[in-house]
Amino acid sequence: MSKLNANEIVKLARAKKRLTAREYIAEIFNEFVELHGDRTFRDDLAIVGGIALLKSQPVTVIGIQKGRDLKENMEVNFGQPHPEGYRKALRLMKQAEKFNRPVITLINTAGAFSGVGAEERGQGEAIARNLITMSDLKVPIIAVIIGEGGSGGALALAVANRVWMLENTIYTILSPEGFASILWKDSTRAKEAAKYMKLTATELLKMGVIDQILPETLNGKPLDPLKVAKIIKKALVEELKELSKMSIENLIKQRYQRFRKF
């Protein structure tokens, strides 16, 4: 596992060269059919989701999309979903429950968008509704942090039976810059803040916040991103076999107990 310090991992988690949610979906799943909109306001491009096959198993996959350049990031709001994005995700999860499809989420966001419009349309309520719904969803849920896992914006897709992180990703209550601004009134101390926040996969695994770290390096050298996608796919296939053996009651109970301990 990674021997980099927290600040170095923060930089890698935010790196533009990372595969996006759409790219992972294309590599991991077959016959992806994207579904759009929350049936209330509009289609939020920061959330991409739909129906796909994981090998031969139908699943619902939902990801938070970041762009590779300024144009793409403007289109997806830099990977910061609006309330309608979370409501679209909620619609897809309820549909998955209706048709007994496991849910897989791919998370990469600095956090939910905090603009005036998002607040007017109920950002907090949308996130809270996802948390409530996911806690009782009657199908297996696996969440994978593929970049940044920031605040409630990430948690809104991470109330899962299994929460995994790629080796050089982060999962945290807020950004190191925000943490430093609150604690020391100085965002330039973000590097120092990262050291104290315990936001790396290794630290979170030790605390039991996540269940597994998926490697991005081998013998200290970065793996090809497509190889990482194959690792994720293999892990998903194996884990869903195990989760499929659990009753609905035990799935919900395990998920509840997993989060209750925090």
pLDDT digits 0-9 by tens, 187-214: 899 999 999 999 999 999 999 999 999 9
Over the stretch 136-192, which tens digit does the pLDDT of each residue have? 999 999 999 999 999 899 999 999 999 999 999 999 999 899 999 999 999 899 999
Other C-beta atoms closer than 10 Å to the C-beta of 69 total 8
Which tokens go with 234? 């293999």
Domains and CATH numbers, the chain: 6-260 (3.90.226.10)
Give residue 219's pLDDT band: very low, low, confident or very high (50, 70, 90): confident
- Quick one: how many helices (H) and strands (E) in the chain? 12, 10
Specify the residue for token string 């943490």.
179
Which tokens go with 93? 């999860």
Rounded Cα distance between 194 and 205, Å, is 17
Other C-beta atoms closer than 10 Å to the C-beta of 128 total 14
Rounded Cα distance between 176 and 196, Å, is 9
Distances (CA, A) of 5 to 2, 12, 115, 123, 202: 9, 11, 32, 33, 11
Look over the chain and give the mean of its residue pLDDT values, rounded to a whole number. 94
Global confidence as pTM = 0.94
Rounded Cα distance between 155 and 20, Å, is 18
- Please give the full DSSP string across 37-94, using - where no structure is assigned: --SSS---TTEEEEEEEETTEEEEEEEE---SSHHHHHHTGGG---HHHHHHHHHHHH
Give residue 220's pLDDT band: very low, low, confident or very high (50, 70, 90): confident
Look at residue 260 in the predicted model and tell me its pLDDT: 85
Give residue 2's pLDDT band: very low, low, confident or very high (50, 70, 90): low
